[in-house]
Structure 1
């Protein structure tokens, strides 16, 4: 007659339960070793995020047994659509998720679901709120606070400590926006008497940023400086400067490094750009998921760096490594 667990001594029962639990964990780990790694970004309609995809694709080629999917909503403000993409990835039991969260709070329930489903989540670019810290395993990003301070310092060096500066931002409350713009504003307030006009939120739409900048330039003829806080916003800002005839007259600082922004630096429309390593975010995001699936230790935070690029170092190896 078969014996039940209750017929053994308590010591043996505890040992058996530990062994069964260990076997279950090992089985789960083994089944997760190969499979889909889902990279979910804020939008696919941006060369910044396409460069993240290039990095992820390079990493997956070095990671046998895995496949890669890349997805994002139509715009960075379509937060509900991004939540649905994460939920769908969980439902199809992906091996791991690399996520650039569009909103620090709205994505927390979804990454909690992934955690409960034992699907590792690696965040890139933007953080989530403290309520979500337990549910992701690693965060790879520019130190956006320091990057915002870097831009503020460069602006003060060119225009001095008095006058007006317009702040052209993107999606209010996004993790990277809060840190980047917050760092910029705090540095200006602590180290100058510059008056900040704005912020204006483009929703990461180039055309919106262009229209907003055109209006700001018309309303503030005495404006001395501009800060465009992400790629589409900075591109729209640069185009508005050119069309208004104010390029080179108002000192403008941009963020990120696509072809349009490089051209603006070269021709003097922009004083300089702070460039993140978007390729590295995608590459390390996939690599970190793979390390987690192999049960290797990973850092909770990894700074992927930022490079200040202006006309003098635009062609340098350091700049070319991050420009796209």
Structure 2
């Protein structure tokens, strides 16, 4: 009797176990189908495809603040939207201690996420070279801007100013101005955010070359002081330049190589030392900050880059490369000399241009 009950129990257990197994299989298949469906959705919204099926471009400038970088960012965003791309914008603050490494990490992120294309302003031609090659090997077109990499065959194009030529233009204009004032000897100072950054080293080289070309034999009468680096901290360039002015009463000119820190710091140092109109100041790129120094004689003249055009051109060329069209190796954007008397009016034109183009 007990034996019979045992047989019945085993039959029932086998039956129920089979049902449970069948239910588990059905549940597993349903989960697998759901996972596949989700995976399909993820493919459309992945970083490479972007939102709502859009392809993604990475845009990696050195910073995103100031009158030079902000219009460039705006232009890139506007044009990418017009062309139907999702734009991923990556950068770090000027004070970032591991800035090169951080931006190389952004490059790796773009490669990992299978971006359709990458635009980057490399701060060091050697450090960024390998990672740019890896992106190329992964089939991702790269456009460099503002500065270039060492192995130019690994990127499809460069967009921006030739910083050596821009420096030459500023050096020539400065030399012409000093000669017009009868100045043919004295000390010369330089201030920049980062002296090892490629754009800054090229600008320094260009300034000295252009200055010497115009000064001729008299260039031997000038001494270039040790360049100032302030990491975009105006108080630091002000402090260092004040020290140089005190130690060198025969200083006749100073060059600020771009960005708000050195621009402001240099003007404040000239003002605090009572050297307005005695030490001439030559700068890079338009910023409303210059307008504060025009009246007091704290800025003599600048060379300006069309940064909005750079941002727009970068996206345009990257789009062509993504679509497999032939692009040129280099897209130079020229600079314009603007003396102090023209800066305020020039600023109005720049603002009108920016307002019109960003509608």
What TM-score, normalized by structure 1, do the two folds share?
0.82
CA displacement 1:175-208 (0-9 Å, x = unmatched): 2122211011123344323211122222343332
Higher RCO (CA 8 Å, separation ≥ 6 residues): 1
Alpha-carbon shift at residue 240 of structure 1 (Å): 1.9
1:70 aligns with 2:99: no
1:241 aligns with 2:270: yes
1:205 aligns to what?
233
Secondary structure in 2 matching 1:75 = coil
CA–CA distance in structure 2, aligned partners of residues 243 and 266 of structure 1: 15
1:150 aligns with 2:178: no
Point out where structure 2 has 5 or more consecutive residues left out of the alignment.
1-47, 355-359
Point out where structure 1 has 5 or more consecutive residues left out of the alignment.
1-29
RMSD (CA atoms): 2.5
1:105 aligns with 2:134: no
CA displacement 1:96-125 (0-9 Å, x = unmatched): 111111111111111111101111111111
2:63 is aligned, of 36, 43, 47, to: 43
Paired positions, count: 292
2:291 aligns to what?
262
After TM superposition, the runs of 4+ consecutive aligned structure 1 residues lying more than 4 A away are: 30-34, 315-319
Change (3 A) 1:60 1:266: farther
1:182 aligns to what?
205
Secondary structure in 1 matching 2:278 = coil
Change (3 A) 1:110 1:206: farther
What TM-score, normalized by structure 2, do the two folds share?
0.75
1:83 aligns to what?
104
User: What are the within-5 Å matches in structure 2 for residues 159-198 of structure 1?
Assistant: 159-160=178-179, 161-190=184-213, 191=216, 192-193=219-220, 194-198=222-226
Say if 1:265 and 1:272, in contact at 8 Å, map to a contact too: no
CA displacement 1:67-94 (0-9 Å, x = unmatched): 1122211227621111111111211111
Alpha-carbon shift at residue 275 of structure 1 (Å): 0.8
Q: Counting helix residues as a fraction of each chain, which structure ranks higher?
A: 2
Q: Report which of the two structures shows the higher radius of gyration computed on alpha carbons.
A: 2
Say if 1:40 and 1:99, in contact at 8 Å, map to a contact too: yes
Alpha-carbon shift at residue 45 of structure 1 (Å): 4.2
CA–CA distance in structure 1, aligned partners of residues 59 and 278 of structure 2: 41
1:8 aligns to what?
none
1:56 is aligned, of 71, 76, 90, to: 76
